[in-house]
Amino acid sequence: MTRPDLADRRGVETVYGAAEDSILLADAAVDDVSPEERVLDVGTGSGYVAARVAETGAEVVGTDVNPHACLKARDEGVEVVRGNLADPFRDGAFDVVLFNPPYLPTPPEKEWDDWMEHALSGGDDGRRVIDPFLDTVGRVLAPDGEVLLLISTLTGVEEVRDRAGSNGFDATVVTEDSHPYETLLVVRLTRRDD
């Protein structure tokens, strides 16, 4: 399987701009979110998804580890917190959590130590950031809350489903978008009744 190296996708940018994946997630979120709902956009990056969802009347907060992303999202009018995943938010605070994670599998020798790398690379298996997200996101979700997570077939859909399952979530595919080397999917996670 060939696809452009990370290096080829990178200019001198430090913040990942809105691309197909962001648009797919934003469209799904706008359909799902109701006005007044409280929404967290993890890894908000440019703030594109958060700003789109805020237009629906929802109360949206964006978070990112990247300080450049935080500034950019703030300039888009997004209320933003610099933090790691959902760590700095209270238990049960959100009706909906959105995440367009770094999901591309990247062998260690191809990794670059910069912010754009951090936004794109999911480590060796593509799930370096997704797994800890799935393990911790339940804490900040309201009882009937849901997660909309963007992944790629390169990330391993079954592996993500299994990890979500072991954290008490059912996963359903909301929408998908086919590209030459991968299909992008938005997966909805809801708490399993048991």
Partner 1 sequence: MKEDLMDIICCPLDKHDLDLEVDERDDGEILSGTLVCTECGESYPIEDGIPNLLPPDMRDEAPA
Positions that interact with partner 1 (CB under 8 A): 38, 61, 65-67, 70-71, 74, 79-84, 87-91, 93-94, 111-115, 117-118, 121
Minimum CB distance to partner 1, residue 37 (Å): 13
Place of tokens 């910069």: 114
How many CA atoms lie within 13 Å of 26's alpha carbon, on the beta-carbon side? 19
Q: Which of the 8 DSSP states describes residue 36?
A: T
Q: Return the number of other C-beta atoms located less than 10 Å from residue 144's C-beta.
A: 8
For residue 129, the minimal CB distance to partner 1 (Å) is: 10
Q: Which two tokens stand for residue 115?
A: 């912010």
Residue with tokens 């009937």: 144
By beta-carbon proximity to partner 1, the closer residue of 155 and 171 is: 155
Q: Closest approach of Cβ 130 to partner 1, in Å?
A: 15
Give the span between the Cα atoms of 136 and 87, in whole angstroms.
8
Of 65 and 157, the one with the shorter C-beta distance to partner 1 is 65
- Least separation in angstroms between residue 92's CB and partner 1 is 10
Surface-to-core class of residue 177, CB atoms within 10 Å of its CB (0-12 exposed, 13-18 middle, 19+ buried): middle
Residue 66 or 152: which CB sits closer to partner 1?
66
Nearer to partner 1, 54 or 186 (CB): 54
Residue whose CB is less far from partner 1, 23 or 81: 81
Q: Minimum Å distance from CB 184 to partner 1?
A: 23
Q: Residue 190: enclosing H or E segment and its boundaries?
A: strand 183-191
Q: CA 56, CA 181: separation in Å to the nearest integer?
A: 33
Instruction: Please say whether the beta carbons of 161 and 171 come within 8 A.
Output: yes
